[in-house]
């Protein structure tokens, strides 16, 4: 413990300052715990990833680029979740299957 002042007024001042500092630390801990609780709830409530992804072209008028298995590392940022039937339909309509995740194999799609 560092050297404390010998007189009562300075000791009381130090006590008050420490109590205020402790209250501030406790508020910061409570806020951090609340943030962690909210983060965990967000993780638990996150919807599951889609089973299939359709990668869209650069603008809204361009055709789809590729079909991916959900969670594919190679899917671009312009991807949206689709159902199995839509994925099969896209492959049948000539949309390219991703070479990394091979959605055509996963779907049992045989070209031609």
Spatial distance between the Cα atoms of 66 and 103, rounded to a whole number of angstroms: 10
Look at residue 15 in the predicted model and tell me its pLDDT: 96
pLDDT digits (tens, 9 = 90+) for 47-97: 988 999 999 988 878 899 999 999 899 988 899 999 999 999 999 999 999
Contact of 72 with 101, CB cutoff 8 Å: yes
Q: What is the pLDDT of residue 71?
A: 87
Indicate if 57 and 36 belong to the same structural domain: no
Range of the domain at 97: 52-107
Backbone region of residue 102 per phi and psi (left: phi > 0; alpha: psi in -120 to 50; beta: other values): left
On whether both 41 and 59 belong to a single domain, the answer is no
User: Model-level pTM greater than 0.85?
Assistant: no
The number of angstroms, rounded, from the C-alpha of 78 to the middle of its chain's C-alpha atoms is 16
pLDDT of residue 24: 98
One domain, residues 84 and 98: yes
Residue 81, H or E segment: strand 79-82
Number of domains in the chain: 2
Each residue of 1-15: pLDDT tens digit? 679 999 999 999 999
């Amino acid at each position: 413990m560092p050297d404390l002042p010998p007189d009562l007024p300075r000791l009381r001042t130090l006590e008050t300052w420490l109590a205020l500092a402790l209250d501030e630390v406790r508020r910061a801990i409570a806020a951090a715990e609340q943030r962690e609780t909210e983060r965990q709830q967000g993780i638990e409530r996150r919807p599951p990833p889609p089973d299939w992804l359709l990668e869209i072209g650069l603008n809204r008028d361009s055709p789809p680029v590729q079909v991916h298995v959900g969670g594919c590392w190679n899917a671009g940022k312009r991807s949206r979740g689709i159902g199995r039937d839509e994925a099969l339909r896209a492959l049948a309509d000539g949309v390219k299957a991703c070479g990394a995740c091979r959605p055509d194999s996963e779907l049992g799609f045989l070209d031609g």
